[in-house]
Structure 1
Amino acid sequence: MSQLEDLKSELNKIDGEIAALSQRRIDLQTQIDAEQKKYAEEALSKIVGELKSLNLDPADIAKALGVPVTPTAKKTRAPRGSAPVKSKGEPKYRNSVDPSKTWSGKGRKPEWVITYLANGGKLEDLLIHKA
């Protein structure tokens, strides 16, 4: 039994060391990231300072780097009412009670169609027959 307890104790010790090493790795990675960011900011600051001292035009610098410098124009919206009017679609069904009411068969069913179907009518009965 003492050998089993010794092995369990050693395993717990190793687990503790792994946890400590994992935390140490996370801390080191955080420090590396911070140092890299700091180094990049210092290098950029140094480059910008040298470019300013040479009185170079930013457009010339961008051109030398191959970066497009054309200002992008802001998209403008079309004036209201300039879009073409959408048609409602050709009527496919007509109300048998009030022939002025029609429905194209698209979108929600009108109330008169729902009522007609609820009273046992068939949708085919409301079809407009083209002559």
Structure 2
Amino acid sequence: MATYQELIAQKAALDKQQADLEKQIAETLKAERSGVINQIKAMMADHGITVADLSNRLGRPPKAANAAGAAPATAPRKVAPKYRDPSTGETWSGRGLKPKWLAAALESGRKLEDFSV
């Protein structure tokens, strides 16, 4: 039966072997990927295909315009708060329905300017 020290040495050797194999795999994948990219670029050049052609073929409109001819839709941006409840710290941007805390405060006689940030 192997001793503890021998098992530790075997584990270290196996860990090193694993790290070496993982490095080899990463290098091989990188080389293969580079070769494939070069092949794709060459084929695109041979056939006069651009990246825009690829995106059109995939059913996506070009980035410059959507189907209506307008600029592409972007993700909605977060609006800075304009009003803050001093007691709870809740905020409202001034867009959409008034929050309940603000509506209740306005009904009790406070003014909207009292909550301005």
TM-score normalised per structure 1: 0.44
TM-score normalised per structure 2: 0.48
